[in-house]
Amino acid sequence: MAAIASRGNPLLKSLPLFLTWRSLRYRTICSGSLGFASSSSPSISEQLPVPGTKVLETFKEEFEIGSHVITLETGKVARFANGAVVMAMDETRVLSTVASSKGEGALDFLPLTVDYQEKQFAQGVIPTTFMRREGAPKERELLCGRLIDRPIRPLFPAGFYHEVQVMASVLSSDGKQDPDVMAANATSAALMLSDIPWGGPIGVIRIGRISGQFIVNPSMDELSLSDLNLVYACTKDKTLMMDVQAREISEKDLEAALRLAHPEAVRYLEPQLRLAARAGKSKKEYKLSMVSDATIEKVRNLAEAPIEAVFTDHTYGKFERGEALDLITKNVKRALQEECDEESLKVLPKVVDTVRKEVVRRRIIAEGLRVDGRQLDEVRPLYCESGNLPILHGSSLFSRGDTQVLCTVTLGSRGDAQRLASLVGPSTKRFMLHYSFPPFSINEVGKRVGLNRREVGHGTLAEKALLAVLPPEEKLPFTVRINSEVMASDGSTSMATVCGGSMALMDAGIPLRGHVAGVSVGLVSEVDPSTNTIKDYRIVTDILGLEDHLGDMDFKIAGTRNGITAVQLDIKPAGIPLDIICECLEPALRGRLQILDRMEQEINAPRPQHDRNSPRIAMLKFSNDSLRRLIGPMGSLKRKIEEETGARISVSDETLTIVAKNQSVMDKVQEKVDFIVGREIEIGGIYKGVVTTVKEYGAFVEFNGGQQGLLHISELSHEPVIHITDMVSVGQQISLMCIGRDVRGNIKLSLKATLPRRDSDTNDVVEEPIPVTKQASSVWESIGNVPDSEEEQNSDLEKLPIAKDENSEGSLGTSKTPSFLIRSAAECDEEEKSAGFDPSSESTSEPQSVSGSDKKLKSSLSDPKKQKKLKASLSDKRKLKKLKATPLKNSGSASSVNSPTDTEVPKTCFNEKKLKLGMKLNAKVNQIRKRGLVLDLGGGIQGMYRFEGDNSERDFEVGDELHVVCSSFSTKGIPVMSLVEDE
């Protein structure tokens, strides 16, 4: 067997190496002698060639800005891209690549595309989507793409119409730095390395402010404390882009931030130039689509005069003006067709637009005349209306000239907040503004698709402007959504959204710190062709759509009377000097104040909601155990309530949020919630319950989430009730009022208190608060409905039928258990049973006969012990007669005693909390028992007096007033009284 195993198959020995087990990474048996290869076969490393080592030539530039070290690197990754740069700051790295199409540009505009992407691997997380991969671009990715696009687009040369694509990806993120600014700088460096003609580089920087101190490139933690978030982009000497979110910062402070941001952003330029000199490509000669001067002159001669006539006539509206200009274009086209000028016909629309631009700009600079006849700093006529859709939480209609926006506000629970999956920033967003620009707003036909970059950008700008005046989350613990529908567009619909959104929030009753308004400022400049510098300019307030198209910039500024909350600057030329930008802040402030005056005339305070048939939202506080009962198994009870009422219920930590269509639906939901879970019991509160047990003296009712209350027979009706079954039955659902509790602590309910009362009826109830499970209800209202002080809130409590004392809080849920438990007369019987007494044998109120007393006296004289007890009893009897014969001072109230230790409390203001040992007071005999008396101490409190002699009989009558002192308490908390002899 060993010989067979040691022999090899000669046919198998000649197999090539790639068919052996070892080449397939399997281990052979018997040291490889299974016929595949002998032990003497050469190793794989000896037969295969050794691969060479590839050397990646990388270039790196390192510099420091603020407190961070920044690195630009190229050559290691994305080597086939036209330009690729990795920017690193701390542990955050962003890759930006650029590429351009190879063919000739066949379009008449620059098809620039910027894609920014944040994948979850950058923070070590697997996506939670069903496919476990990233889907369509999120809002933040679209906004970051716009942030990159806006500063780089003006620097492409005129006539460059080749397709360019920029792709920025976050490779890793430590969550400390926002990658958006890094992606913009990396894109600038990648364009500098590519062969694409571009007039860069640019620098982009973020500025924050904490406690009045500006911070360069703040971290995410610092931004959460900052009242300014400024993103600034520029070339060496001109401003390209600005994006601001602030908390009512003044124009002066904003200008100071801009003056600081410019030199800090310029520091990004030199490292990019050094990197481009080392690793950059030579710029390629791309064909530029330029229009000849002869064509421009020919079209100008044909169209300039009619175009100027249209712009001079101020009676034209937007569409009438557009139709007149289209007619002029058709006339010019007909003239060129007659001349067979094919070259001019190809570029006719573009050349006509150039002539329009020249006419409008010349009239503004030379004459100060605008298209619609307004002054340069004049705001168009305004129209404001709030509450135009009363069925909603809040609504408004805002018009400025021909621009019209309809805004609505919807409130929701915290669970309705938007969930974010970004690498930095919060995970949820409770305030959302969604901007919609339908095609009919400009009388066009279009298709509604998904997220639009322009709509997302305009909505976010308005959202930033309004976010600064919202109350903090603890005062507004709801999710707020504003929907802005553009009804008509003729310039700056985003600023109209700010104005309409502010009024809609006020109409919804949200206590804003003040109205927010926005206005767009434009610029028309005249450039010296030789030096490419601005030699004359005009600042235009509240620009039209045509002025935006033919002007140099769109400078949107929003804020309150106290300061700026949001800014967005977009320009068309290759930069504008910072001095001109700062000069635009003053006319923007004047225009903003005019708009605020008109908005405050319409609505200047949060509108109360109680008188409107609008949706309601309420937040109730419960324990987590109560919420579990409400949700039910697998959420069955919660779903059932939602299906039956149509409301929406969400549950968070000890908080139940209800969103209902109107107040009637809200009442129905709260009624169901109260029946399942219960709420804080208040004296005077009306509750619905179900009768569970019927007794002769009353009925027990289950209400408020399983709590039991007693409906006494005397509380059924204002009329006498003989049989309780005539009024209620088991299983019947009734509405009752809580009137307090009895001495046992049971909740007392009343049915007659909910019925109409007669004038002779009185309900002077003196009861104790009921300790219940802590639970509060908070239905959000506007600021105008909230009491200004605690005194106003306490005044409502004083109206309740509750006896107040120095220890009483006037609320059932906040009372404390008294130091001693006071029992009723029925419990006195129980006390006597436990002490060996016979409660069935009670002495009558009639005095004993003399003969009976003589018999007892004679029988006691024969026993010396009984003689001693009899003497003591007779002495006690004489004392009692003396007390009864002496009239009490201040009947109905205790007389003052000069003893330093003993105290006396007036009966009218007495309660169980003031009863202490040694306290003297007047009491009435309520019942006469064999071994003692049941005394009425006042205030519904009863005590006991025990006779001192065995089988003694006393001359007491029901109703007698006695002067007693509290000597002790029984084991069940019943006060034990002793007689006091007047001196």
Which residues 6+ apart lie within 8 Å of 641 measured at CB? 647, 649, 669, 672, 673
Q: Could you tell me which residue, 340 or 268, shows the higher pLDDT?
A: 268
Q: What is the mean pLDDT of residues 491-496?
A: 93
- Cα angle vertex 459, ends 454, 465, to 5°? 135
Note the pLDDT of residue 635: 85
What are the structure tokens assigned to 817, written together? 């258990």
Q: Read off φ and ψ for residue 946, nearest 5 degrees.
A: -95, 135
What are the structure tokens assigned to 31, written together? 């040291």
Task: Please return the burial class of 14, using the count of CB atoms within 10 Å of its CB with bins 0-12, 13-18 and 19+.
Answer: exposed
Which secondary-structure segment (H or E) carries 93?
A: strand 92-100
Note the pLDDT of residue 105: 65
Bridge partners, 938 (sequence order) = 941
Bridge partners, 85 (sequence order) = 96
CA-wise closest residue to 539 among 596, 496, 582, 601: 582
Note the pLDDT of residue 913: 57
Transcribe 723-789 into DSSP letters.
-GGGT--TT-EEEEEEEEE-TT-PEEEESGGGSPPPTT---------------EEEE---GGGS-SS
Indicate if the pLDDT at residue 863 is higher than 60: no
Q: How confident is the model at residue 147 (pLDDT cuts 50, 70, 90)?
A: very high
Indicate if the pLDDT at residue 382 is higher than 50: yes
CA distance 778 to 797: 17
CB atoms within 10 A of CB 588: 25
Q: For tokens 């553009």, what's the residue?
A: 486
pLDDT tens-digit map of 319-330: 888 899 999 999
Q: How confident is the model at residue 885 (pLDDT cuts 50, 70, 90)?
A: very low
Indicate if the pLDDT at residue 982 is higher than 90: no
pLDDT tens-digit map of 210-267: 999 999 999 999 999 999 999 999 999 999 999 999 999 999 999 999 999 999 999 9
Indicate if the pLDDT at residue 425 is higher than 50: yes
Q: How many residues does the chain have?
A: 983
Which secondary-structure segment (H or E) carries 639?
A: helix 636-645
CB 523, CB 541: distance < 8 Å: no
Q: How confident is the model at residue 109 (pLDDT cuts 50, 70, 90)?
A: confident
CA dihedral 777, 781, 785, 788 (to 10 degrees): 70
pLDDT tens-digit map of 714-749: 888 888 888 888 888 888 888 889 888 777 777 889
What are the structure tokens assigned to 571, written together? 């320009």
Q: Could you tell me which residue, 799 or 409, shows the higher pLDDT?
A: 409
CB 612, CB 508: distance < 8 Å: no
Q: What is the mean pLDDT of residues 407-434?
A: 89
Q: How confident is the model at residue 610 (pLDDT cuts 50, 70, 90)?
A: low
Indicate if the pLDDT at residue 630 is higher than 80: yes
pLDDT tens-digit map of 65-82: 988 899 999 999 999 999
Indicate if the pLDDT at residue 552 is higher than 80: yes
CB 154, CB 574: distance < 8 Å: yes
What are the structure tokens assigned to 104, written together? 């000739």
CA distance 612 to 623: 31
CA distance 846 to 825: 21
Q: How confident is the model at residue 608 (pLDDT cuts 50, 70, 90)?
A: confident
Which residues 6+ apart lie within 8 Å of 4 measured at CB? none
Residue 875, classed as helix, strand or coil, is helix
Indicate if the pLDDT at residue 462 is higher than 90: yes
Note the pLDDT of residue 952: 56
Among 72-81, 393-402, 407-416, 465-474, the least confident range? 407-416
Among 11-20, 606-615, 650-659, the least confident range? 11-20
pLDDT tens-digit map of 676-691: 877 667 788 888 888 9
Indicate if the pLDDT at residue 816 is higher than 60: no
CA distance 384 to 400: 9
CA-to-CA separations, 884 to 318, 887, 888, 963, 967, in angstroms, rounded = 105, 7, 9, 9, 21
Note the pLDDT of residue 797: 33
CA-to-CA separations, 471 to 41, 211, 408, 431, in angstroms, rounded = 81, 20, 19, 11
CA distance 155 to 574: 5
CA distance 741 to 748: 5
What are the structure tokens assigned to 263, written together? 């030199």
CA-wise closest residue to 425 among 681, 285, 155, 223: 223
Q: What is the mean pLDDT of residues 419-448?
A: 90
CA distance 644 to 733: 19
Indicate if the pLDDT at residue 414 is higher than 50: yes
CB atoms within 10 A of CB 626: 21
CB atoms within 10 A of CB 483: 20
Share of the chain above pLDDT 70, in %: 77
CB 498, CB 558: distance < 8 Å: yes
Q: What is the mean pLDDT of residues 333-349?
A: 87
DSSP tag of 711: E
CA-wise closest residue to 71 among 46, 85, 89, 47: 89
Indicate if the pLDDT at residue 914 is higher than 70: no
Residue 20, classed as helix, strand or coil, is coil
Q: Give residue 701's identity as a one-letter amino acid code.
A: V
CA-wise closest residue to 555 among 530, 519, 521, 524: 521
CB atoms within 10 A of CB 611: 7
- Chain center to CA of 233: 32
Among 202-206, 362-366, 555-559, 804-808, the least confident range? 804-808
CA-wise closest residue to 672 among 699, 701, 700, 649: 649
CA distance 228 to 469: 14
CA-wise closest residue to 782 among 507, 474, 515, 516: 507
CA-to-CA separations, 209 to 69, 212, 217, 229, 858, in angstroms, rounded = 21, 6, 11, 8, 105
CA-wise closest residue to 574 among 559, 595, 553, 555: 553
pLDDT tens-digit map of 697-716: 889 998 876 778 888 888 88
Note the pLDDT of residue 832: 52
Q: Which segments of 358-400 are extended strands (E)? A: 382-386, 394-400
What are the structure tokens assigned to 480, written together? 């707020």
What are the structure tokens assigned to 173, written together? 């993120």
Average pLDDT over the chain, rounded to an integer: 79
Question: Taking the CA atoms of the chain, what radius of gyration do you get in angstroms?
Answer: 45
CA-to-CA separations, 872 to 470, 851, 864, 948, 952, in angstroms, rounded = 82, 21, 13, 9, 11
Q: What is the mean pLDDT of residues 568-574?
A: 93
Task: Please return the burial class of 90, using the count of CB atoms within 10 Å of its CB with bins 0-12, 13-18 and 19+.
Answer: middle
Residue 378, classed as helix, strand or coil, is coil
CA-to-CA separations, 199 to 81, 154, 177, 192, in angstroms, rounded = 20, 9, 28, 9
Note the pLDDT of residue 842: 40
Residue 436, classed as helix, strand or coil, is strand
What are the structure tokens assigned to 463, written together? 């959202």
Q: Could you tell me which residue, 812 or 556, shows the higher pLDDT?
A: 556
Among 22-26, 183-187, 484-488, 773-777, the least confident range? 773-777
Q: What is the mean pLDDT of residues 625-649?
A: 87
